[in-house]
Structure 1
Amino acid sequence: MVSGYRPVPLPTGAAGASRADLVAGVTGWICSPPLRDLVAAFGAELPDRLDTADLLAWLDGFAARHWDFRGRGGAVAQPSRNGRTAAVERDEVAETRLPAALTELVRAAATALGLLGSGPEPGATPSSGRRYDHLLVLGGLARSCLNRTAYAAHLLRSGAVEAGEMAALGSFRPLRPTETAELDLPGCEYEVDVLEYGMRRAFECAAPAEERSSEGEISHHSWSVRSYRDATGTAVHVLAAPSTEPASRRAHTSDTYHFWAAELGPAAGDRVLVLTSQPYVPFQHCDAVRTLGLGYGCEVRTIGLDPSRIAESGSLRQLGADQYLQELRSTIRSMRNLFHALS
């Protein structure tokens, strides 16, 4: 049985963190024992002779060859314009079953590296650790949007978190029948619609106080901002971000961070709590540090929801070992982007 890994910290989200501290965080994570063991399990050895930049490039290439299950296509994969198989959504990937011993190693490593399990709620820290200027709820598949908005409401109502304002960040990604088949989502066509439905239900918001959006047909250029007030008077925003590369892709996590910051203007030193699902904490944290920490001077903390705290969690999909490897690849790419932003 694989055991004995210590938790590996992610790069710091402290406001004003030095380049040296951030580089040390990236280097410590990519050189950690669990990641070394995973690389070895796939027939290679982490090349210690390389500096951090070159090691990140090596890991990016290694992960693309061995852990990019989305890039290999799935049950409904479609060819892209260049004839190659396009990456599919996370829930469309055809499962790759790994040997039992390797599966055990992946789960142990994923736990140590921050993709599996859940830490204490913010309120488990001293009182100053639960006060945030902004609580950001990230979008995703329809079920995840409902789970995350419900968990955000739990955090505030239980007193685990105090927030000056809240925002749900998504895009105009069309919903697919496979992700909505068992859900009651009246009037929802896009990811942002589910986020809005979830936030309004969780925080009992009435009609929006403000609405702004792009004009014309929905495309990768499209955006919207809707602002509400909950029963306590706290501002609740729901944003659909445009893509920064609309010719080739829809908006991704970093685009939603940038759009939120550009529209709502966090101040340097503001404390930001990012809420997602645990497998995505490492890569979405690194994206937040790069965009909101380096770009706007914010302090960033990223947490995953605790399924035991929300009623919707009964239908949460259990991830396979291949999916944790996929998110490790996402984290390596996000850390590489963070490292380059420090140059």
Structure 2
Amino acid sequence: MPEPSAPPPAGPTVAPASIVVTGAREAVPLPLPGGTPHPDPDVIIAGIAGWVGSAPLRGLVARFGGRWPTGDLAAVLAGLDDFSGRHWDFRGGRERPEAREPDLHPATARQVRDSAAALGLVRAVPPALGRYAHVVVLGGLAHACLRRVAYAAHLLRRGVRVAGEVAVLGSFRPLSDAERRTLAGAGVDGGDTEVDALDAAVRLAFGVTRPAEEDGRDAGHPHHSWSSRTYRPAGAPPVRVLAAPSSEPERRRAHTADTQRFWAGHARLAPADEVLLVTAPIYVPFQHCDALRTLAVPYRCGIDTVGVDPALPDLTRLPEPALTPGRYLQEIRSAIRSMRALHATVAAG
């Protein structure tokens, strides 16, 4: 893998007004495309251009031997998608835990970590508002299910108000043996699937034992099936645990965008609703842009995406696997691809 030390190419290749000039070691992450209600397409596009045209990302492309793509923003995003697929895709179509870790020079590894911090994949930022229409917790691996649900419960205890519901979104992805061990180590019976782990996390974090309402459809295959369980904890908004069907059931399981669209239909998401999305810091850029594409643009709602704060004492018993340079590069690629999809949606009108 080439890792030349040449500086990034000079001169912007997207509109100069859209470029954010910043250093990779700055403490404040680059802003993501705006998530305010009734989103303005021009503001979203300018936000995408600022993030992808920034100095930290340009520096990473140069470090791995790339030339900055030429052309308009769509061409730059396509070029970065192609480049990151050749240099930063360590999954190869596999699940995230199965990704390989690249052998990087220490200087390159440091640059990757600095750039990830500047691009918004490291620092946990608190919610921007004190009140939301809904809180949406995104599923993931077993440890992530526990941490994100616990963090959502923590935010509610600390005063974040929710007019609607807390929605915990997942799929029927089978748990691995390692995930089962993680749950067992935390004293949790997590069942067989991701949505089972999320359900167990809700019962643990919100102190509930059984759902008040249940609905769903068993279609004989997890890619076609769905389920919904709604809990009503005392002194808190309803908490719905939802497993979505896949939009491409012949090819894959449900992914994040599927779960968000499926939930929006159930929740009757309305224009001007403010939605707080809870994930891990490393996934904030890509999942924020996915939510803009699947929720903000079609429903005209607001999106505020936050990552779990790892410093909270009640999360120390739920450790997260090490965040390596390879993982950061993989999720920078995810952010690029998510921004490309968002740009295509917004540009198409």
User: Are residues 1:53 and 2:53 paired?
Assistant: no
User: Are residues 1:113 and 2:119 paired?
Assistant: yes
Aligned to 1:305: 308
> Aligned match of 1:24 in 36, 46, 50?
46
| C-alpha distance in 2 between matches for 1:182 and 1:224 | 24
Q: Give the residue type in structure 2 aligned to 1:137.
A: V
- Pairwise CA distance, 1:4: 4.4
Q: 1:223 to 1:35 in 2, by over 3 A?
A: same
| C-alpha distance in 1 between matches for 2:213 and 2:26 | 52
| C-alpha distance in 2 between matches for 1:53 and 1:115 | 23
Q: Give the residue type in structure 1 aligned to 2:97.
A: D
Aligned to 1:132: 132
Deviations 1:8-54 (A, max 9, x none): 1110011112111111001111100000000000111213x410011
Aligned to 1:81: none
Partner-residue secondary structure (3-state), 2:107? helix
Deviations 1:230-285 (A, max 9, x none): 11152110000111001101111100100000111111110100000000000000
| C-alpha distance in 2 between matches for 1:46 and 1:264 | 42
> Aligned match of 1:100 in 106, 111, 117?
106
Aligned to 1:62: 83
Aligned to 2:57: 35
Q: Give the residue type in structure 1 aligned to 2:267.
A: L
| C-alpha distance in 1 between matches for 2:278 and 2:169 | 10
**Alpha-carbon contact 1:154-1:309 (below 8 Å) kept:** no
Aligned to 2:327: 323
| C-alpha distance in 1 between matches for 2:149 and 2:313 | 10
> Aligned match of 1:186 in 163, 185, 189?
189
Deviations 1:48-104 (A, max 9, x none): x41001111101000000000001xxxxxxxxxxxxxxx222112232221100011
Partner-residue secondary structure (3-state), 1:284? helix
| C-alpha distance in 1 between matches for 2:87 and 2:227 | 38
Q: Scaled by the length of structure 1, what TM-score is found?
A: 0.90
**Alpha-carbon contact 1:64-1:329 (below 8 Å) kept:** yes
Residue-pair matches, total: 320
**Alpha-carbon contact 1:148-1:276 (below 8 Å) kept:** yes
Indicate the larger mover: 180-189 or 278-287. Answer: 180-189
Q: Scaled by the length of structure 2, what TM-score is found?
A: 0.88
- Pairwise CA distance, 1:320: 0.7
Deviations 1:171-199 (A, max 9, x none): 00000101221322325110001111111
Q: Give the residue type in structure 2 aligned to 1:183.
A: L
Deviations 1:133-169 (A, max 9, x none): 100110000011001111111111122x111220100
**Alpha-carbon contact 1:13-1:293 (below 8 Å) kept:** yes
Partner-residue secondary structure (3-state), 1:182? helix
**Alpha-carbon contact 2:143-2:182 (below 8 Å) kept:** no
TM superposition outliers: structure 1 runs of 4+ over 4 Å: none
Q: Give the residue type in structure 2 aligned to 1:179.
A: E
Paired residues for 1:1-343 under 5 Å: 3-4=25-26, 7-47=29-69, 49-71=70-92, 87-119=93-125, 121-122=126-127, 129-159=129-159, 161-164=160-163, 165-184=165-184, 185-186=188-189, 188-232=191-235, 234-314=237-317, 315-342=319-346, 343=348
Partner-residue secondary structure (3-state), 1:188? coil
Percent sequence identity over aligned pairs? 49
**Alpha-carbon contact 1:174-1:189 (below 8 Å) kept:** yes
Q: Give the residue type in structure 1 aligned to 2:189.
A: P
Q: Give the residue type in structure 1 aligned to 2:256.
A: T
Q: Give the residue type in structure 1 aligned to 2:79.
A: W
**Alpha-carbon contact 2:120-2:284 (below 8 Å) kept:** yes
Q: Runs of 5+ in structure 2 lacking a partner?
A: 1-22
Q: Give the residue type in structure 2 aligned to 1:319.
A: L
**Alpha-carbon contact 2:32-2:285 (below 8 Å) kept:** yes
Partner-residue secondary structure (3-state), 2:101? coil
Q: 1:2 to 1:219 in 2, by over 3 A?
A: closer
Partner-residue secondary structure (3-state), 1:324? helix
Q: Give the residue type in structure 2 aligned to 1:58.
A: G
Partner-residue secondary structure (3-state), 1:302? strand
CA RMSD of superposed structures (Å):
1.6
Partner-residue secondary structure (3-state), 1:307? coil
Partner-residue secondary structure (3-state), 1:181? helix
